[in-house]
Chains A and B, each alone.
Chain A
């Protein structure tokens, strides 16, 4: 966690009751603390994160704050990022795998304003990656942190909406309801009818919502060298998967987990492995497929001879 040493002076300041309010220099927004949140709130979130890391996949309630962006726009992820980011960090923000979607642009600009941090679009160069709905194609490495924006942290909510009840089910590791759902899907459709936010078992103990990433991305979570943090602002829950932790997509021996991917190649870089977006090109059924991970696609295009890309 490269962010922690960098944030320590501010934490000391918090212990003394002081903060690092910006005077507007170094491009930071005047009147606000580094990373927008006050130091006590950041400390509360870091403590929640430590607990979350200690119990992989377990949802820890936290005193989520109202943020200047709406709930549903990534307030949980933003609070987690704000709590771990320091001036030495390099932040990448993606939405749907892309750095240039409007919400990713907006969040990246928010952190550039309130934290004055360097941003990047390169997965390899980032120390923190905040994401909505994707895990980058480029494998993450040790020392990196990936922060997921989570709309519904409870993997069982479609089967049991009462939170008091799902808490009991997690406490007892009573996940029969989810297995029955998967079984019924197979009985009715011949396959599991979940294509994103596909439930995973973390460290053999907690059922976890991986956030609405496509099931294609699920295998990347398993024994990932990077630290995975999940923030749900509106639902006021944080959870985590420490590096190299087992993350298994639920399945049955005779019906193994099958990630979903369009059977095509990227029209821009030719990748046969990456997750693809379908782009409708006309109203006569014309469509092409392109990588959803823009950094991955650009890197591959740049590495190819010019003619090949066109």
Chain B
């Protein structure tokens, strides 16, 4: 006789135990520390902070460890923690013009005040696997054989030679878009006085204004935005972008408590900012000028910041009176689908039981086939 499958609770517990074992891997190998992840997988940490919408390197590294390196799962862990935190205020706008620059490149000017600073970039590396990195210790070419040795101290011996340093330039590094704005060539952005809306407290509604769009894009999935940004370059959205500037470095975060009446600095965060300069043919009322596509991410997230800037500009199609025909120009399409925590939930929920719905589909299909076959026979 048939007995319904039971024991869901025990199955879940066993699955969790197995998962914990898999996460740890071979216990003969030293366990990865959260500090190691923070230091040596820094770009993964940056991505998780950006998509998890929470600037905390330690928590992001912990999430990566717990998620076994699944960065979307890690972003989800961070978001689920973030949502339980009290929200006690909004910071003042970051002044990225005053950034302590680690990297700054412009594709529009050969030289400019402050100069070009390559910084720690992959840009001109030759993508050749560096087998020297596979050695845990100097003189052990085969990590597979040697790694079982106990008492590895990671730091010794394999630190790269320190990079040459130059004294920091005292000169200011004005933003390229400000240089263009002086000549009136760049469409100005009007600063808003109102406190920006908070996407995590109020649901999206359409038409969405630009602060909401930028918030959603800043939390959005890097891969999704990359694909969309790419599509605008290939003709789906008619973009003519130049990288006015990419800058990465540290900026101060300031708040202004009402009882004080003046701003105080509460810390410093690393951000990457990309300002794309786009052609705008002008309209009846406005002469031709450049318009801005803007991208900003936590940490060092250049690909994301650039893709975000492309998508931000293409979402301004309606505002600038451009024809909106491409996916990247549809704010509902972009904003409803760029969140990877939402997207992964809904795609993956298909693996939950759907027996009941499937059963009604089965009966429906059987009925419809029976009707069709009966009619064919008549």
Contact = CB atoms under 8 A, between A and B. Distances in A.
A105 B8 contact: yes
A267 B2 contact: yes
B344 A70 contact: yes
B25 to A, nearest CB: 24
A245 to B, nearest CB: 24
A236 interface: yes
Nearest to B351: A72
A231 interface: no
Given A102-B8, A196-B360, A236 B2 contact: no
A292 B4 CA distance: 10
B345 A71 contact: yes
B364 interface: yes
A310 B84 contact: no
B8 A277 contact: no
Contacts of A71: 341-342, 344-346, 349
Contacts of A268: 2, 4
A290 B1 CA distance: 12
B201 A72 contact: no
B215 to A, nearest CB: 14
Nearest to A234: B342
A214 B346 contact: no
B79 A66 contact: yes
Contacts of A213: 356
Interface in B1-59: 1-2, 4-9, 11-12
A161 B337 CA distance: 12
B356 A96 contact: yes
A100 B4 CA distance: 10
A35 interface: no
Interface stretch (B111-119, B202-210, B271-279): B202-210
Interface residues of A, number: 67
A105 B203 CA distance: 29
Interface string B65-87: 00000000000100110111010
A202 to B, nearest CB: 21
A260 interface: yes
B12 A105 contact: yes
Contact of B355 (A164, A277, A310): A277
Contacts of A137: none
Interface stretch (A84-92, A138-146, A187-195): A187-195
Contacts of B367: 191, 260
Interface in B332-363: 332, 336, 341-342, 344-349, 352-357, 359-363
B368 interface: yes
Contacts of A164: 206-207, 332
Interface in B166-208: 200-207
B233 interface: no
A195 B345 contact: no
Contacts of A101: 8, 353
B83 A72 contact: no
Interface in A266-283: 267-268, 275-279, 281
B371 interface: yes
Q: Would you call the interface of chain B mostly helix, strand, loop, or mixed?
A: helix
A278 B360 CA distance: 10
A70 B203 contact: no
B2 A64 contact: no
Nearest to B203: A236
A238 to B, nearest CB: 10
Contacts of A65: 83, 200
Interface string A7-43: 0000000000000000000000000100000100000
B356 A63 contact: no
A77 interface: no
A11 B356 CA distance: 38
Contact of A261 (B354, B361, B363): B363
Interface string A160-171: 011110000000
A163 B332 contact: yes
A72 B356 contact: no
Interface in A248-304: 260-262, 267-268, 275-279, 281, 288, 290, 292, 294
B223 to A, nearest CB: 18
A72 B348 contact: yes
Contacts of B12: 102, 105-106
B371 A195 contact: no
A116 interface: no
Given A103-B353, A106-B12, A72 B345 contact: yes
Contacts of B355: 96, 277, 292
Given A234-B342, A278-B359, A162 B80 contact: no
Contacts of A97: 356
Contact of A63 (B201, B336, B341, B347): B201
A24 B332 CA distance: 43
A214 B357 contact: yes
A73 B8 contact: no
Contacts of B375: 190
B352 A73 contact: yes
A237 B82 CA distance: 21
Given A104-B8, A277-B355, 20 more contacts: A64-B203, A68-B80, A72-B349, A97-B356, A100-B8, A102-B353, A163-B206, A163-B332, A164-B206, A164-B207, A194-B364, A196-B356, A214-B356, A260-B367, A261-B363, A262-B362, A267-B1, A277-B359, A281-B2, A292-B359
5 contacts: A72-B349, A73-B349, A96-B354, A105-B8, A261-B363
3 smallest CB-CB distances across A and B, nearest first, come from A72-B349, A71-B345, A236-B203
Interface of A: 32, 38, 61-68, 70-73, 75, 95-98, 100-106, 109, 132-134, 151, 161-164, 189-191, 193-197, 212-216, 234, 236-237, 260-262, 267-268, 275-279, 281, 288, 290, 292, 294, 310
